[in-house]
């Protein structure tokens, strides 16, 4: 080798070594600004996501990120993997581990990969799978460096940008870039970009967002959902493809027509035998609600829920004939089946797409796109709309519960497409009414017979008890009344009235030492069975507004027989609270020398309140808790 070539080789080696050292130094933990390490478990050093869309069926996503994990709690901030399917391919996936100085200590191999089905709870038919790297750190801190390149034929779902993904993770740098055909129209829904100093760049066929030096938002009790308080952007385009089905939609009417043409029409034929059954079932009925009730009961008795997530089956329902034959289906199939049977019965109904979950979440009506994770049925009548949940055999006719209440939905029918909203339950409609006869003996032993009736959303909290085994219900009540010592449940009689939508509990019980002895006195709490003693945590400098998505109304009436060996020495004064957060009242009335009537009512309101109102809310809850622990004092004769 000549001296010149040798010099070139040595120079190249030196350059490579220096480049590696420079790169390593860039990810050294010591280079993280001190502010970004305060009160966090990990730091997102960089996250560069680039989305290239060349056609409606060709989307390549390149994601490169590095996370420095500061302690064991930060391990949950590292998910190094991807799902894959026939439409979504993994082209490249690599991972490396760096030490605190930024030096590579391990390159993960195929043997570190886990490959599993992407099955969800309740899913039976699923073809998606996922691969992810596993790594057990030997020490902290360490840095996980990851690169993923995927190719997707589906462009109906463009990735969201959510840089502050995790609680207790700060962000050093995050960049999101979308390149798309210039003749496409891109729609965006952006939240809190300006307040977090996000840099935005747009141009023909390009959209880019970037953030740096961002601290996580501290989670606060009753705070709004993350997409309302964090920097966030969701996207959709007017051209797209879903499992080899091309689409184009600039408004909801166009989208609804595409959806019905490609997902629903041609699959709604009801088998002749079933058609005759339905006609016979509703024969002679003229009231639309009673007709709908009959059809709904038929579906509940005949079918069961099974999740289907195979290819287009994740979005296109099974045919009506298939559901009729197999007697099962997912939310799409069962709703489609119910809609078809209602049509046979002469009731036009809508196939309604919704985002389900215990926190009311609207469909994003600003983005015309495939959305939602659930389907229900609505029946628009002259004076009302009936809403039907088709996946639960035990839920009453016309009842939704807190899984689908009060949110924007998309309804599809032969008449067209409509943005609608499911009903919200009024606070005082979410009622629990308890009436009890109680007796105390001279030893403080409690005996009680009580009836509790729950309606509105409180029905949703209880109806499942009727379906449980006896021992499971005993555990439920033991936990509910864990302050009752040596609790013995002598009777548990439960009944769900699906017509009135009321759940009734008839309970008989005994508990020892309810009355506390103090010398020649006996003390006991006036609220026997419905104590609300939780007080939200104090937050010195609250940043976020307080959101109380739902309210409820409880009434309690206790007729109490006192031991004849004691006289009444002291009763709690009447308590009344009237607040913008709710109302509370407690009254203890002396009926006779040895009989009391205790009444209580508590209305907790829903609403959205300013951050500075939080201290008043805590005081309201503290006052309720204090009165719910009011004591009665008896003195021995």
Q: Is-contact 51 63, C-beta < 8 A? A: no
- Report yes or no on 1 lying in a domain: no
Count up the domains in the chain and report the number.
3
Residue 8 covered by a domain = no
User: Considering the domain boundaries, does residue 343 fall inside one?
Assistant: yes
Alpha helices in 355-510 (DSSP H): 457-462, 470-480
226-230, 308-312, 496-500: least confidently modelled range: 308-312
Q: Could you tell me the residue range of the domain that residue 482 belongs to? A: 427-636
> Can you give the pLDDT at residue 307?
80
Same domain, 169 and 103: yes
**Beta bridge partners of residue 409, listed in sequence order:** 420
Query: What are the C-alpha distances in Å from 392 to residues 180, 277, 304, 388?
Result: 42, 22, 8, 10
Q: For position 477, which CATH number holds?
A: 2.60.120.1130
Structure confidence by residue, pLDDT tens digits, 532-551: 999 999 999 999 999 999 99
173 and 293 assigned to the same domain: no
Residue 266 resides in a domain: yes
- We report the CATH number of the domain holding residue 339 as 3.10.620.30
Tell me: pLDDT of 313 over 80.
no
The number of beta carbons lying within 10 Å of the beta carbon of residue 251 is: 10
Q: Say whether both 226 and 257 belong to one domain.
A: no
pLDDT greater than 50 at residue 306: yes
Residue 207 in domain: yes
pLDDT above 50 for 9: no
pLDDT of residue 18: 41
Question: Of all helices (H) and strands (E), which one includes residue 587?
Answer: strand 582-592
3-state SS, 141-201, equals CEEEEEEEEEEECCCCCCCCECCCCCCCEEEEEEEEEEECCCCCCEEEEEECCHHHCCEEE
Among 209, 239, 269, the domain boundary falls at 239
Question: 324 pLDDT band (50/70/90 cuts)?
Answer: very high
| Residues 401 and 519 occupy one common structural domain | no
More confident residue, 5 or 483: 483
Percent of the chain whose pLDDT exceeds 70: 94
Confidence bin at 3 (pLDDT 50/70/90): very low
- The residue among 112 and 598 whose pLDDT is bigger is 598
11 domain residue, yes or no: no
Choosing from 239, 260, 282, the residue where a domain stops is 239
pLDDT at residue 227, rounded to an integer: 84
Predicted pLDDT of residue 23: 44
What is the dihedral sign for C-alpha 213, 218, 219, 223? negative
**CA atoms of 586 and 624, how far apart (whole Å):** 10
User: How confident is the model over 157-183, as pLDDT tens digits?
Assistant: 999 999 999 999 999 999 999 999 999
Distance CA 29, CA 429 (A): 55
Q: Are 84 and 71 in contact (CB under 8 A)?
A: no
Q: What is the CA radius of gyration of the chain?
A: 31
Q: What is the mean pLDDT of residues 198-224?
A: 96
Clarify whether residues 174 and 311 are in a common domain: no
Q: Are 561 and 590 in contact (CB under 8 A)?
A: no
Residue 144 belongs to some domain of the structure: yes
Separation of alpha carbons 151 and 88, rounded Å: 6
With a cut of 50, say whether residue 6 has pLDDT above it.
no
User: Following DSSP, what letter does each residue of 248-280 receive, concatenated?
Assistant: E-SSHHHHHHHHIIIIITT--PPPHHHHHHHHH
Neighbouring CB atoms inside 10 A of 381's CB total: 13
Residue 281 and residue 201 share a domain: no
Residue with the larger pLDDT of the pair 531 and 118: 531
Per-residue burial over 49-71, b = 16 or more CB atoms within 10 Å of its CB, e = otherwise: bbbebeebbebbbbbbbbbbbbe
In a domain, 18, yes or no: no
Nearest in space to 257 (alpha carbons), one of 265, 266, 267? 265
Q: Could you tell me if 169 and 313 lie in one domain?
A: no
Looking up tokens 């960049």, which residue turns up? Answer: 175
Examine the pLDDT at 120 and tell me if it is beyond 60: no
What is the mean pLDDT of the segment spanning 247-258? 97
Mark which of 216, 239, 262 sits at the end of a domain. Answer: 239
Instruction: Say what the pLDDT of residue 123 is.
Output: 46
Same domain, 460 and 402: no
Q: How far apart, in whole angstroms, are the C-alpha atoms of residue 274 and residue 283?
A: 14
- 355 and 410 part of one domain: yes
């Amino acid at each position: 080798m000549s001296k010149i070539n040798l010099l070139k080789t040595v120079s190249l080696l030196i350059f490579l070594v220096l480049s590696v050292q420079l790169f390593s130094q860039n990810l050294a933990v010591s280079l993280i600004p001190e502010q970004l390490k305060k009160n966090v478990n990990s730091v997102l050093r960089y996250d560069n996501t680039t989305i290239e869309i060349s056609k409606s069926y060709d989307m390549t996503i390149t994601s490169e990120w590095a996370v420095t994990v500061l302690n064991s709690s930060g391990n949950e901030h590292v998910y190094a993997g991807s799902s894959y399917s026939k439409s979504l391919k993994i082209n490249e996936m690599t991972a490396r581990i760096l030490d605190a100085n930024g030096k590579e200590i391990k390159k993960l191999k195929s043997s570190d990969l886990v490959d599993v089905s992407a099955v969800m709870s309740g899913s039976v038919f699923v073809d998606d799978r996922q691969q992810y790297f596993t790594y057990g750190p030997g020490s902290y801190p360490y840095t996980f460096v990851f690169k993923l390149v995927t190719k997707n034929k589906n462009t109906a779902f463009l990735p969201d940008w959510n840089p502050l993904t995790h609680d207790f993770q700060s962000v050093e740098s995050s960049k999101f870039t979308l390149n798309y055909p210039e003749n496409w129209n891109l729609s965006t829904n952006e939240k809190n970009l300006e307040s977090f100093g996000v840099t935005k760049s747009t141009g023909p066929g390009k959209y880019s967002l970037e953030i740096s030096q961002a601290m996580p938002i501290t989670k606060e009790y009753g705070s709004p959902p993350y997409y309302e308080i964090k920097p966030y952007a969701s996207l959709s385009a007017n051209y797209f493809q879903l499992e080899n089905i091309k689409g184009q939609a600039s408004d909801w009417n166009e989208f609804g027509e595409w959806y019905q043409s490609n997902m629903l029409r041609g699959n709604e034929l009801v088998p002749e035998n079933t058609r005759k059954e339905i006609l016979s079932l509703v024969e002679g009925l003229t009231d639309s609600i009673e007709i709908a009730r009959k059809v709904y009961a038929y579906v509940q008795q005949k079918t069961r829920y099974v999740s289907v997530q195979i290819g287009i089956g994740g979005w296109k329902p099974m045919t009506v004939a298939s559901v009729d034959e197999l007697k099962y289906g997912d939310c799409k199939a069962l709703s489609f089946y119910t809609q078809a049977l209602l049509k046979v019965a002469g009731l036009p109904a809508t196939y309604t797409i919704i985002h389900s979950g215990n926190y009311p979440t609207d469909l994003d009506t600003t983005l015309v796109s495939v959305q939602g994770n659930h389907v229900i049925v609505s029946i628009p009548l002259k004076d009302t709309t009936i809403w039907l949940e088709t996946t639960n055999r035990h839920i009453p006719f016309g009842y939704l519960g807190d899984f689908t209440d009060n949110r924007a939905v998309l309804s599809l029918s032969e008449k067209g497409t409509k943005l609608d909203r499911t009903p919200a339950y009024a606070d005082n409609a979410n009622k629990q009414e308890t009436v009890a006869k109680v007796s105390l003996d001279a030893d403080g032993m409690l005996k009680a017979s009580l009836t509790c009736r729950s309606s509105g959303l409180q029905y949703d909290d209880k109806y499942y008890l009727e379906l449980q085994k006896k021992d499971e219900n005993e555990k439920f009540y033991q936990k509910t009344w864990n302050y009752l010592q040596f609790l013995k449940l002598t009777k548990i009689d439960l009944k769900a009235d699906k017509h009135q939508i009321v759940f009734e509990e008839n309970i008989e019980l005994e508990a020892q030492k309810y009355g506390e002895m103090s010398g020649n006195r006996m003390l006991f709490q006036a609220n026997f069975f419905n104590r609300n003693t939780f007080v939200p945590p104090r937050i010195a400098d609250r940043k976020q507004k307080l959101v109380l998505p739902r309210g409820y109304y409880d009434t309690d009436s206790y007729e109490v027989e006192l031991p004849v060996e004691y006289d009444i020495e002291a009763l709690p004064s009447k308590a009344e609270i009237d607040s913008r957060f709710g109302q509370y009242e407690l009254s203890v009335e002396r009926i006779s020398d040895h009989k009391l009537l205790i009444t209580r009512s508590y209305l907790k309101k829903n609403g959205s309140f300013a951050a500075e109102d939080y201290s008043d809310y805590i005081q309201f809850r503290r006052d309720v808790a204090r009165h719910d622990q009011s004591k009665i004092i008896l003195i021995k004769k």
